[in-house]
Chain A
Amino acid sequence: MIDREKPMVEVRKVHKSFGDLEVLRGIDMQVKKGEVLVIVGPSGSGKSTLLRCINLLIQPDSGDIFLEGVKVNDPDIRPEWVRQQIGMVFQSFNLFTHLTAIKNVMLGLTKVKRLDGLEAEKIARYELERVGLADKADAYPAQLSGGQQQRVAIARALALNPKVMLFDEPTSALDPEFIHEVLDVMTKLANEGMTMVVVSHEMGFAKSVADELIFMDNGVIVEVGVPEEVFASPKTDRMRAFIGKILG
């Protein structure tokens, strides 16, 4: 029986420094299966580093990361095994520039999951359809708009059937007219029950979709709560100041 209360991702006392700069100073957090967690905070607060620690793109200096109860920052565990179970979407899309949309989605299936080409293509077409881009399968990334590129990037991550999806400011690099199409896809995903950790300052998305909101500043978690409440009545001065800034 699946323990609904067991966290999908758990981060315990994680520290990370780059040189003299301590970017993460003891982070504790968790996401349960099917939950959407939104992380906000000023730039340089360690949000992206935290996200990259979860899928081990960055190795934490100390502390533990658990995926479904398994400690993954362990020398005996291959980081590749962890990463193929965790989808990631980047601020700058990072689609493989020399591959068409569908080949971008297929690459992980053929190389990492070792599916044959036909099966990989079937899955890739399905995933592109899910993000509304079935007709752009043969376009190269440079021929797509930012919003379309980001949706392909989401399809690429989804193709590997991840347990969690990490989003690192997925709409920050987009022109305003393309933001909604990416948020729509993300909302759909959340409604389908995907576990998500989203670094984003999209307040509307956080309020309507997120189960929990974390406010980070200076490498620590300052405030945690239900998004509506945190926005309406922030408990700390730092959070209040930050909300003031992003609401302009």
Chain B
Amino acid sequence: MRDPGRDSGWRRVWDEPLFKTGVGIVGLLAVVGLLLTALNDIGEISFDFMASHWSFLLRYALTSLEATVISFAVGFGLAIPMGLVRAFGPGMIRRGGLARGVASPLYAIVTGYAEVIRGTPALVQIFLIQFWVTSTFQGVPGISLWAGIAALSVNTTGYQTEVFRAGFQSVGQGQIEAAKSIGMRPTQTFASITFPQGLRLITLPLANEWIALFKASSLLWLIAVQELLWGMDYIGTKLNHPIDAFILGSFFYLAILIPLSRAVTFLERVKRIPGLGVAEPQRRALFAARFARLDRV
């Protein structure tokens, strides 16, 4: 049973995952802050430079955010039907008849797409799409950003398709059978059962994908999109403050990603259904995995 000491107010506050992470981040920032202060004092880095240039980087950070939000949304929208094809295509093919005629080619295309996208470097995809888009829409202002957004969309669609496939497949066959048994049509079963249950199961991998995508947006620097990394490099080289520029830029990435990942954890807890999804100890492991490096490059 519970240790009575654990019920003290402080103990309960400490047991809040949000509080612990908060303490961790504050502590980490304190240590990093001390280090940076020392570096500042010996003249290796310059707080003055950072203080006077952060607003310059802000608009480029917003461009990175814009590219990520748009491509993630496009990927989300496309990955739902594509994940459905990946999850339930084989079953329809096995059933034969008309369903087979439609499902076979669809399944082949979607599977091929997911494999090719996940099997090639994002940077190669970005270059290819950029060449094609800029040669097709020559001279359109801001076209490289849209080429970049298109490339990131193509990329994240491939990953999100697999995430949704896993989510849909994890919804128990019994759930679907029960929905059928009360006379629900396949579309109703999907909207009321498969989708809401699957989405809860894949909140974590989707958040992972968002984080990876935001960091991958820095690759757009290589096709001359004026995003956060471009801004960092610009002021770093122009003003000969490369280290200051990159440290400052890193804080922008953190400032956007950490609150987001906290928000996702919070959402997961609020939306958590008793008995559905991942048990608490496993969630902790997954939480740790979230901060593991996700290599997209």
Contacts of A112 in B (CB 8 A): 182-184, 188
Q: List 25 A-B contacts (CB under 8 A).
A: A55-B181, A87-B181, A87-B182, A90-B174, A90-B177, A90-B178, A92-B174, A94-B172, A94-B177, A96-B179, A97-B175, A98-B193, A98-B197, A98-B273, A98-B276, A107-B179, A107-B192, A108-B182, A111-B192, A140-B273, A140-B275, A142-B273, A142-B275, A142-B276, A157-B182
Q: Which residues of the partner chain A approach B275 to less than 8 Å between Cβ atoms?
A: 97, 140-143
Chain B residues close to A by CB (< 8 Å): 172, 174-175, 177-185, 188, 192-193, 196-197, 200, 273-276
Q: Report the separation of the CA atoms of residues A248 and B275 in the bound assembly, to the nearest whole angstrom.
A: 36
Q: With an 8 A cutoff between CB atoms, is A80 at the interface?
A: yes
Say whether B174 contacts A111, CB under 8 Å: no
A binding-site residues for B, Cβ under 8 Å? 55, 57, 79-88, 90, 92, 94-98, 107-108, 111-112, 140-143, 153, 156-157, 160
Decide if B181 touches A97 in the complex (CB within 8 Å): no
A95-B274 in contact (CB<8A): no
Residues of B within 8 A of A96 (CB): 175, 178-179, 192-193, 197
Cβ–Cβ < 8 Å partners of A97 in chain B = 172, 175, 197, 273, 275-276
Is there contact, CB below 8 Å, between A94 and B178? yes
In whole angstroms, how far apart are the Cα atoms of A92 and B192 in the complex? 20
* Closest A residue by C-beta to B183: A84
Q: Enumerate chain B residues within 8 angstroms of A140, measured Cβ to Cβ.
A: 273-276
Task: Other than A98-B273, A157-B181, give 14 A-B pairs with Cβ distance below 8 A.
Answer: A55-B181, A57-B177, A84-B183, A90-B181, A97-B172, A97-B197, A97-B275, A98-B197, A107-B182, A141-B275, A142-B276, A156-B182, A157-B182, A160-B183
Q: A83–B182 contact, CB under 8 A?
A: yes
